[in-house]
């Protein structure tokens, strides 16, 4: 635990990275944290996930134990009944008691089973909720490491495996141990020498079975990894389904994804082969023991050395412990599966979230109201790299005055999106300072405060599942119609709302399929403007827009500066010309700033001369 805390701290320090050159040490810390998150989990970790459900679990286990005790009492009652019968004494009451114990055991067993299932579902629900929460809050770079499909598999399939393990294994271990110890005690009490025979047979077969169990966990872990890889590949193919169709790549994709499915199949078969041997091996052991007991016991009963009732009781105890004996090995097999699943769950659940990784400087006072001369955005000698030793931005400095429109231009790969990512605190700068309204975003405000000051419109403007209203009101679901109308007009969407069959309440399809590219962009702008941000970061679409959409976008951009400061990653000469100032980036450095004409003179290659639509 201490080790884990220490390692997380180191990761914090690395993530924190304020004004510190990210060096080799940082990289090591990062790797170690990743390794720590995937350390081998054990039974203790399995027990740890039951926290908060222990009472319910104990109740379920107590019920199972009561049922097991009733089961154990039955052979004894049967022995007594036979004894009474053979000595011509009244046996009716004992028979009734035996019948009642039989029925009550069945009822208590059913209750125990249900409460155990309920508790393990509850544990898995908590785990899933924790995972979903974590998946939405991981530091941005983690999404680049894990593939989405794999993260989804961890939340669904792995948690299901774990639930089975919890529901089945925990009760089997506790109740099974109770029944076995109880049964063995009774058998020794009834006939110690017969028990010795059973011990030798079961011990020999059980020992061999144990050897087979090794390897199940590895096989299941590999199978779940393959399943995760399959989900990731499927997710990738489905998200690009149009390209897949047009390129006629269905067969190839099916082949690739099918390969992962086959890997999971083969690895699961490896586990199943070992798993399959366990049950029959134990049945063999139990049947062998019974035969031996019957033969040896029968001879002794015939010789008058032992009573028939004792032998019947002994045989009944063998049948009673045979199920838990077989299960103990089965349990070990499913336990290995559960541990394999927990391993994959913990690898994500133990990762620090975005805010744990970079703790907000405490205490964080509300940023003071800025005066008119303070720029809305200021970058001072900002340096940043996604990986140590490979800087992407070098000493980037520029300002964006309040309520102006500044265009960020430059060739692809110049670092424009990276600047946006740093402003939104998806990543932290390695060097230099970023100020919003004069306040350092890393040291002077929390992530929450920083993001509440701005809105971001991404280039491929995601439209979420739901109606147009839900999409626009995403940041403020409680927004009034009037507030919605304001941003709809600002984003030139009135025409679209009028045209849609159910207006604002029209569903817009899973990925906004019912909207054109330009409309999607403007829906995203309306969504961004609704919370009245002080700063709007707009990544202009590079794809061609038709004349109507282009004009609407230009009009929207013009109107926005009445509301807020606008920083646009601009590709269209029309947008660049409309800006009050232009900042030109090349290879992560600012190569020119000024008006459009000034920048055009300084960096003739950086600025596009003609509209993409004119080419
Ligand atoms: P632009 O937006 O100007 O096209 P970007 O800011 O996207 O440029 O990229 C700048 C550089 O950073 C490019 O060399 C790109 O390959 C690299 N880069 C961008 N995102 C990542 C990432 N997540 N991990 C590693 N390198 C990245």
| Residue 343 and residue 38 in contact, taking contact as beta carbons nearer than 8 Å | yes
| Per-residue confidence (pLDDT) for residue 608, from 0 to 100 | 58
C-alpha span between 83 and 401 (Å, rounded): 100
Q: If we measure between CA atoms, which residue out of 520, 509, 513, 495 comes closest to residue 467?
A: 509
Reply yes or no: is the peptide bond before residue 542 cis, omega within 30 of 0: no
| Per-residue confidence (pLDDT) for residue 71, from 0 to 100 | 87
Closest-lying ligand 1 atom to the alpha carbon of residue 141: 23
Task: Determine the distance separating the centroid of ligand 1 and the alpha carbon of 418, expressed in angstroms.
Answer: 6
C-alpha span between 366 and 531 (Å, rounded): 18
Pairing of strands 565-569, 405-409: parallel
Closest-lying ligand 1 atom to the alpha carbon of residue 421: 6
- How many residues belong to the chain? 615
Residues within 6 Å of ligand 1 by CB: 144, 386, 392, 410, 412-418
Task: Determine the distance separating the centroid of ligand 1 and the alpha carbon of 441, expressed in angstroms.
Answer: 21
| Residue 212 and residue 360 in contact, taking contact as beta carbons nearer than 8 Å | no
Q: If we measure between CA atoms, which residue out of 317, 314, 311, 307 comes closest to residue 86?
A: 307
**H or E element, residue 137:** helix 92-137
Closest-lying ligand 1 atom to the alpha carbon of residue 569: 2
Farthest-apart Cα atoms in the chain, separation: 119
φ/ψ (deg, to 5) at 13: -60, -40
**H or E element, residue 457:** strand 454-457
| Per-residue confidence (pLDDT) for residue 6, from 0 to 100 | 30
| Per-residue confidence (pLDDT) for residue 39, from 0 to 100 | 67
Name every residue whose Cβ is closer than 8 Å to that of residue 459 and which is 6 or more positions away in sequence: 539, 540, 541, 542, 569
What is the pTM assigned to this prediction? 0.70
C-alpha span between 479 and 499 (Å, rounded): 22
Q: If we measure between CA atoms, which residue out of 420, 469, 410 comes closest to residue 567?
A: 420
Task: Determine the distance separating the centroid of ligand 1 and the alpha carbon of 422, expressed in angstroms.
Answer: 12
Mean pLDDT by 10 residues, the chain (615 residues): 31 34 37 50 83 89 90 86 85 88 92 89 88 86 75 83 79 84 89 88 82 75 85 81 82 90 88 78 82 89 85 86 77 79 83 67 56 88 93 96 92 94 94 94 89 89 80 89 91 89 82 74 89 91 70 78 87 85 94 86 62 44
């Amino acid at each position: 635990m201490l080790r884990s805390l220490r390692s997380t701290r180191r990761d914090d320090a690395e993530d924190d990275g304020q004004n510190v050159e990210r060096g080799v040490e940082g990289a090591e810390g990062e790797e170690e944290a990743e390794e720590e998150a995937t350390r081998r989990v054990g039974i203790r970790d399995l027990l740890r996930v039951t926290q908060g459900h222990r009472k319910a679990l104990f109740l379920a286990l107590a019920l199972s134990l009561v049922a097991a005790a009733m089961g154990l009492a039955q052979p004894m009652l049967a022995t007594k009944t036979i004894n009474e019968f053979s000595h011509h004494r009244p046996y009716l009451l004992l028979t009734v008691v035996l019948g009642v114990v039989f029925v009550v055991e069945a009822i208590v067993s059913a209750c125990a089973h249900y409460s155990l299932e309920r508790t393990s579902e509850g544990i898995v629900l908590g785990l899933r909720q924790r995972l979903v929460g974590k998946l939405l809050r991981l530091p941005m770079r983690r999404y680049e490491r894990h593939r989405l499909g794999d993260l989804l598999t961890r939340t669904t399939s792995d948690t299901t495996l774990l639930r089975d393990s919890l529901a089945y294994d925990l009760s089997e271990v506790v109740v099974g141990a109770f029944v076995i110890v109880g049964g063995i005690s009774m058998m020794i009490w009834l006939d110690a020498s017969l028990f010795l025979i059973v011990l030798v047979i079961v011990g020999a077969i059980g020992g061999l079975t144990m050897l087979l169990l090794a390897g199940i966990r590895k096989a299941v872990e590999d199978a779940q990894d393959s399943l995760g890889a399959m989900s990731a590949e499927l997710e990738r193919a489905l998200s690009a389904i149009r390209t897949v169709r047009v390129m006629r790549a269905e067969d190839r994709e099916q082949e690739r994804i099918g390969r992962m499915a086959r890997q999971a199949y083969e690895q699961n078969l490896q586990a199943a082969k070992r798993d399959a041997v366990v049950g029959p091996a134990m049945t063999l052991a139990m049947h062998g023991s019974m035969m031996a007991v019957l033969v040896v016991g029968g001879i002794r009963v015939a010789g008058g050395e032992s009573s028939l009732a004792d032998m019947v009781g002994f045989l009944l105890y063998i049948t009673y412990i045979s199920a838990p004996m077989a299960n103990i090995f089965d349990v070990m097999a499913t336990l290995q599966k559960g541990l394999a699943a927990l391993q994959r769950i913990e690898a994500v659940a133990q990762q620090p979230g975005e805010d744990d990784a970079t703790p907000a400087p405490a205490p964080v006072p509300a940023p003071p109201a800025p005066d008119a001369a303070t720029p809305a955005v200021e970058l001072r000698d900002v340096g940043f790299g996604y990986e140590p030793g490979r800087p992407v931005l070098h000493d980037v400095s520029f300002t964006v005055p309040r309520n102006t429109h500044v265009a960020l231009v430059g060739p692809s790969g110049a670092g424009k999106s990276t600047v946006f990512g740093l402003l939104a605190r998806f990543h932290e700068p390695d060097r230099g300072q970023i100020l919003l309204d004069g306040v350092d975003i890393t040291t002077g405000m929390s992530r929450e405060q920083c993001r509440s000051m701005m809105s971001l419109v991404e280039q491929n403007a995601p439209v979420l599942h739901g109606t147009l209203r839900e999409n626009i009101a995403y940041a403020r679901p409680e927004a009034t119609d009037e507030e919605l109308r304001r941003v709809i007009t600002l984003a030139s969407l009135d025409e679209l709302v009028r045209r849609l069959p159910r207006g604002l309440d029209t569903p817009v399809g899973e990925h906004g399929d019912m909207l054109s590219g330009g409309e999607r962009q403007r829906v995203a702008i309306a969504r961004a403007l609704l919370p009245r941000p002080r700063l709007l970061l707009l990544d202009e679409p590079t794809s061609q827009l038709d004349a109507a959409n282009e004009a609407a976008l230009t009009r929207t951009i013009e109107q926005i500066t009445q509301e807020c400061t606008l920083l646009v990653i601009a590709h269209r000469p029309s947008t660049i010309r409309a800006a009050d100032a232009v900042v030109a980036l090349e290879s992560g450095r600012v190569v020119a700033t000024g008006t459009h004409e000034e920048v055009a003179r300084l960096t003739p290659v950086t600025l596009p001369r003609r509209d993409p639509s004119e080419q």
